Chains A and B, each alone.
Chain A
Amino acid sequence: MLVLTRKMDESITIGNDITVSVLEIKGNKVKLGINAPKQTLIHRTEIYTAIIEENIKAAGAPQDLTMILDGKLC
């Protein structure tokens, strides 16, 4: 992992079109500003990971839902 130290109002550039700026530092919280092309997907990592894990779990659905849903939905 590349590690860089930045101060308030400083930024880093990733590739040709992404910049990440430090907007505010308060206690243990850092507010970041990100400029990136519209199609770049940006997410909080823990949320991104949670959705991936949930998708993987959901992908293993059994064919016979009738038993599980007990006739309430199907």
Chain B
Amino acid sequence: MLNVKTTRFGEIDIDEKRVIRFPDGLLGFPEQKGYVLLEHKPGSPLFWLQSITTPYLAFVTINSFPEKKDYLKDLQGVEKGTFKGVEDERVIVLAIVTIKQNNTKNPITINLMGPLVIDTETQIGRQVILEKSGYSHQHPLIFS
């Protein structure tokens, strides 16, 4: 078991197999390579991507949103190699959620231009940039 200190959730013990390695880190955080996914609440589409070495570093991510089905189809068209396995659920695709507390019009956006792609078999992840996809890094999250 690995003991992970977090500012939001206190100290948590996780199975080392759950650690996800990002060899290149996330953009802007190249030195932070180890994370763990924590459920926000049972059944919620939200997951926290918590750094295992930096207690305050955690991203809110979302694994399902209204446009996801079309989005995955587009991803497969854009980067075939990277998204091999999306169909059989070996690869999970998460969008990072940005919460802008002082923006009342679009308080919650999701980054569809720079999704996180995680191979659940190797536990290796990377942030992919989809330059030509037409998706925004500030896509409004609309509740249905």
Query: What residues make up the interface of B, taking CB atoms closer than 8 Å to A?
Result: 8-9, 24, 26-29, 40-41, 44-46, 57-60, 96-101, 107-108, 111, 113-114, 127, 129, 131, 137-138, 143
Contacts and interface: CB of A to CB of B under 8 A. Distances in A.
| Interface class of chain B by DSSP | loop
Interface stretch (A9-17, A25-33, A56-64): A56-64
Contacts of A54: 96, 98, 111, 114, 137-138
Given A73-B143, A74-B41, A55 B96 contact: yes
Contact of A51 (B44, B45, B101, B113): B113
Contacts of B101: 62, 68
Contacts of A65: 40, 46, 60, 99
Interface of A: 41, 43-44, 47-48, 50-59, 61-63, 65, 68-69, 72-74
